[in-house]
Structure 1
């Protein structure tokens, strides 16, 4: 028996591998309702199962924002770490998968030793030599009950889970960059509004001080005017700090400096985000990478149950080799020098202190945990989308109301200034009008940022456009 015996042993071994003890998998029932919430805050729309969320390049229309997202995707360290995690789990899967196949090794060796006369068979001392060349398999487990294949399936599902986790990190990064960019631009606009308001307040203070010296304005009017200037100065420092901190936060997300071609003085356009289609189906949540990752982890836990079950049954391992051995190097390939060995081994578990039972219980509990985690991920996603839809249905009205408030505050200020200049009203009325106008202009910018950010978060909650997938290499 030489190489043909090794081949026969392999054929027999593969023929014995057949059954699987992995439980049949059924996707857990969705713990949410089949449609989005209805109410005054939500836009009514008929469901259209063919509607898809646009890819991020179509959703984010601002060229500067798109350039920043591209920069972040190329340089962000969190995304790099997620990609390396995918490669690491892919390598672990390949390691586990290799155990399905026997490891065939070729070994060659030689030995020389002096044998004393009292130990030599001839009664004379001498030097004995031995040369050998062997091909063999060492401790190859015949996967009769599917233990190794269960572990391989679990490793594959964990690898696929990290792929979806990487996509989830990518979607979060895209949304975070967009939000950070819009916050940066909004704080710049607030700083500009505050600077213009401070200039106006300073001019008013100068006029009030001049009229006070002329005896037509009271000292109280001067103090009131100065409170506006001091308040605006405080706001100036606040927004100056926030603009620089926004820039730092954006650079951290980018993983590098903000490109010099992006001007720090630009403002947000009126049409920087595409519309999210209405009537999206509720089962769209199954496309979210974090939900798919949770299901892959659940499948991995299910596969581990199969491995734990298989451990209760006998395991069979095979060690075999065939080759040639000779006392002379040139005799290795001569007739009669062949040798072989075949050593099957069976291990039957009898008593292990409850370890196998506990291991199976642990695997089943891990699956139950996976079910809960999967269901929670769906519930969380549903809540995020529902919140986004509520924002989508109300922010247009809120912004229009705030624009009307700014216009009314401007008219109020103009009338109060005219009446103060004409001596009809005291300075307190003008002071109140100035405060209202400044506050309403600030609030309009803040509301606009919140509306844009809610659209970005809704886009993220819907999966960020599932046709935009991270490029990964197949494990098979």
Structure 2
């Protein structure tokens, strides 16, 4: 018996080792250290800290805090992400089952009458008997080649990836809420500017009317002012429209109806500086949930390859049964009723029409795909960080220029109004100066909203507080 098993194992090893030659994956995981960014990041202020999990609180708006928390608790997208994570975890639990022994128990009770005209003569023939059987079964697959362990590792990797993807969904949702909230703040600022513009135009209209009555201006100047007033009212209507649309969008992100948006008040955001952590890009691998998820899926695909290769080797199974069987219940537990059994089985695929090689080739292709998806995700992650840093630098430069231009425009407007009131300036000069002030104020409001939006995007690009070490605990 031992010699037979040894021979079968030797033949199996020889056949198995030879059968998958020439089938290997081609993908190679990128190393973050190879993504050079030192020159691009030179001169950027750095900090040892990464964004915190509740990063939105740094903007100092309690209403935003409540909106984000409400979205995370009630969004269908978050429930979907949790369901996917639960599904992947259940699959891992199923994959773990073959690693341990399978033990079962059973009781069979059968009432049977034997024919009086068959092979059993009386008194058995023509009589009825109750057959009772008790059995405790045991089965165990000896995972010599690591097939089941690799399959479990792959399933566990996919479960971890689903968890990371759940956090990525959380980050996408929270940053979306914050981003729309910034748009709402921007629309309120635009409404203020439009109302101020209307008030200025109406004041100029009143002044011009007085000058017309005094004979200092003609009706032409008055009509020019009156023509500009409807345009200001149009901008008010446009800003009010954008406010309503932003509220509707926020309500949808919260998983609520449009009426929820009506209760959202004007934002009171403050600009919060976001510094670059000192270990970028080295630590970005463990801080971006999408990068972590892609890495785990690539590693899971590698374990799928190991499991597929193990399919070429023989399966070795042990089985045992301890039980008792009797046609009379009173004798069921007597020694003579025992029916013990023990066995071992070795099964080796010899001809399968190329199924195993095809399966392995498919697992290799899955791995190559997962690797390139990871490489692309890692590259995109670093690019997103650099993009937002570039935008922040640009916003800072533009803000200084706009502040200077606004101060000059406001001074020019005051002078133009004073000259017009004194009768030594024209209405066109006043209107032109007013347009310059409006333009610079609009640019300043746009830049403030832009700075907030870019800060949110940078926090998202840095992972939004995700930490691989914490996730593994």
| TM-score bracket, shorter-length normalisation | 0.7 to 0.9
Query: 34, 37, 62: which one pairs with 1:35?
Result: 37
Matched residues in 2 for 1:159 and 1:184: separation?
38
Structure 1 spans left out of the alignment, 5+ residues: 1-19
Distance in 1 of aligned mates of 2:440 and 2:278 = 34
**When you count helix as a share of all residues, which structure comes out higher?**
2
User: Deviation at 1:153?
Assistant: 0.7
1:281 matched residue in structure 2: 280
Shift in Å at residue 376 of structure 1? Answer: 0.6
Q: Which residue of 1 aligns with 2:346?
A: 346
Cα drift, residue 78 of structure 1: 1.8
- 1:201 and 2:201 correspond: yes
Aligned residues: 447
SS of the aligned residue for 1:122 comes to: coil
- Aligned-partner Cα distance in 2 for 1:432–1:44: 41
Q: Give the root-mean-square deviation of aligned CA atoms.
A: 3.2
- Please report how far the alpha carbon of residue 274 of structure 1 lies from its aligned counterpart in structure 2 after TM superposition: 4.5
Cα distance in 1, alignment partners of residues 267 and 355 from structure 2 = 66
What's the counterpart of residue 12 of structure 1? Answer: none
Aligned partners of 1:31 and 1:225: how far apart in 2?
A: 63
- The CA deviation string for residues 183-233 of structure 1, in whole angstroms up to 9 with x for no partner, is 212211211221121122133234435544665433432332233212111
TM-score (structure 2 length as normaliser): 0.85
Alignment of 1:197-346 (within 5 A): 197-209=197-209, 211-212=211-212, 216-256=216-256, 264-269=265-270, 272-277=271-276, 279-287=278-286, 288-346=288-346
Aligned to 1:56: 54
Matched, 1:180 2:174: no
> 1:156-167 maps to which residues of 2 (within 5 A)?
156-167=156-167
Q: What is the aligned partner in structure 2 of residue 125 from structure 1? A: 126
1:427 to partner: Cα distance: 2.1
Q: Is the 8 A contact 2:294 2:373 kept in 1?
A: yes
State the Cα deviation string for residues 250-274 of structure 1 (Å, max 9, x = none).
22333458999987245333xx424
Q: Residues of 2 paired with 1:32 and 1:100: CA distance?
A: 39
Compared with structure 1, are the counterparts of its residues 457 and 468 closer, same or farther at alpha carbon in structure 2 (3 Å cutoff)? farther
Structure 1 consecutive aligned stretches of length 4 or more whose deviation exceeds 6 Å: 23-26, 257-263, 468-472
Distance 1:279 1:46, change over 3 A: farther
How much does 1:117 deviate? 1.7
TM-score (norm 1): 0.84
CA spacing shift, 1:469–1:194, aligned 2, 3 Å: farther
How far residue 318 of structure 1 moved from its aligned partner, in angstroms, is 4.1
1:137 matched to which residue of 2? 138
Which residue of the partner structure matches residue 8 of structure 2?
none
Q: Does the alignment pair 1:44 with 2:43?
A: yes
Task: Please list the CA deviations of residues 287-340 of structure 1 after superposition, one character each: whole Å capped at 9, or x if unmatched.
Answer: 211111111000010001011111122223444322010101222112211102
Bigger Cα displacement from structure 2, 149-158 vs 123-132:
123-132
> SS at the partner of 1:325?
strand
What is the match of residue 9 of structure 1?
none
Q: Does the CA-based 8 Å contact 2:274-2:458 persist in structure 1? A: no
